[in-house]
Structure 1
C-alpha cells in the first residue's frame, strides 16, 4: 500500500516524510496512497498518545512508528519527527499531517525546489485564491486571521509568502541541523518560531499551492486556540525584532553551539 517506502535503509541520505499524528486512524491510509511513486524513501509517524488505533493502522501500512509516552503537543511532536528524520540520514524532510487535509501529491514538487537549491524551506500555500480557500471549507474567521497574520509576518520578516501557517512543509537537512528547534514551544506556535528562525539564519523560504480539505476527521484548532496561537505568533515577531536590535537575546535565535542552560527565553 506504500510506494517506495524503505524503513530499513537508514544508512543512505534519502527523503523522509514525517507525520505528527494524534487520533488519525481513519485518514492515514488515504494520505499515504496519494504520495507519488518514487518520491519518498521512508515515512516516520510520531504518535502523540492517540486514543484510537493510529499506531496499529500505521504499523500495518509499513510506516516507521515512534510513540510518545506522554502527550507533548504539536510542537513537541514535530521535534521528535525531525530528530528521527535527521538520525535516519534524511537529505530532505517533508512534514505532512496524516489527517488527509493536505494533498500529499505535491510532495515531489516541493522536494524538487529543495533539490535544485531554489529554496531551503518550502511551504504549501492553502490560499491560492480566496474562493478556493473558502470553498475548500476553511472557516471565514480562519481565512481572515490568516490573511492578517500572514501580511504582518511578510512585512516583519521581509518575505512574500502566501500562507505562513500551512501544515505542509519541506526542509533541507541543513535547515533542521542548523536551527535550534528544541528551544521552541511544544505548542502550535512552534511553526511560527521555526519560520522566524529560518529567516534569522539566512535560509530561503518559498511556497507552492496545495489543495486542502476541511472535514470532520481533519485536525483543526478551535477559535480560542486559534486566538492564542495568533497572539503567540505576534510575540515571536516581537522577539525577532528585539533580537535584531540587540535589545533582547532570545534563545530561539541563537546558534546551537552557543546555547546554554542559563539562556533567556
Structure 2
C-alpha cells in the first residue's frame, strides 16, 4: 500500500496543496495535487514541486513518477493574486521550477482529467507522458489576464503542435479537449474517465520492465536533441548507443534474448 513519502529536505516538511506517496512494491512515487476544489498551484507549491522532483530523482527506490490530482480536475492553474505579490526574482524562476519533470532523469507520467489550465497544462507538458481522460480540457488562458504563459507553456506547445495551433491556443485562449489533444499529439493516450488510473498503472508497470539506465539515456538524449540539427542528433545518439553497449543491462538484455527469458535489469 502507498505510504507518505519521508523527505530529507526540511523545506518539504509541510507541502502546500499537494502530497507525495510512495509505492515501494511498484517502485513508484505519486505527486498528488490536492487543493479543493480546483487544485490551484500556489507560488510556494511551484518551489516545492521542484524540490520534490529533485529529491525523488536521487532516490534509487523510485523508478517512475506519476503526477496526478484529487477530484474531478487536474488543476485550474496558478494562484492569480500570487503573481502580483511575488518579487521579480521569484517570478523569474517560474519556468525553471515547472520544468522539473523534464529535468528528472526518470520517466514522469501526468494523469489529466477535467481542467488542466495554465500552470496545470504547463507542468503536464514538461512530463514525458500525458494520459488524458475524455473529460480533460487543456488551456493556456493567460491572454484573458493581459499576460502570456510564463512557465514554458507556449514554448513547449509550439515544439509539439507547431506555431499555427499554438497561436490558436495561446492568442485566443482556446480550450481543447483530451480527444483533440491526442489528435494533435499533445496527449500520449486518451481514455474513458473511469479508465485513467488503470491506464496509468499499466504504463508504470510497462516502464518498470525496461532498463533504468537505458530509460535515463533515452530521455536525456531526446530532450537534449529536441532542437538540434539532424546530423548532431544522430551523432549524439551514436555516442549514447556506444556507451550503453558497455552496460550490465545491455549484456543482460542480449543474454536474456538468446535464452528466451525475461531480462533482470539492474540499472548499471
Where on the TM-score scale, by shorter chain, does this alignment land: which range? under 0.3
Q: Which has the higher contact order (CA 8 A, sep 6+)?
A: 1
Which of the two has greater helix per residue?
A: 2
Larger Rg over CA atoms:
2
TM-score normalised to structure 1 length: 0.24
TM-score normalised to structure 2 length: 0.24
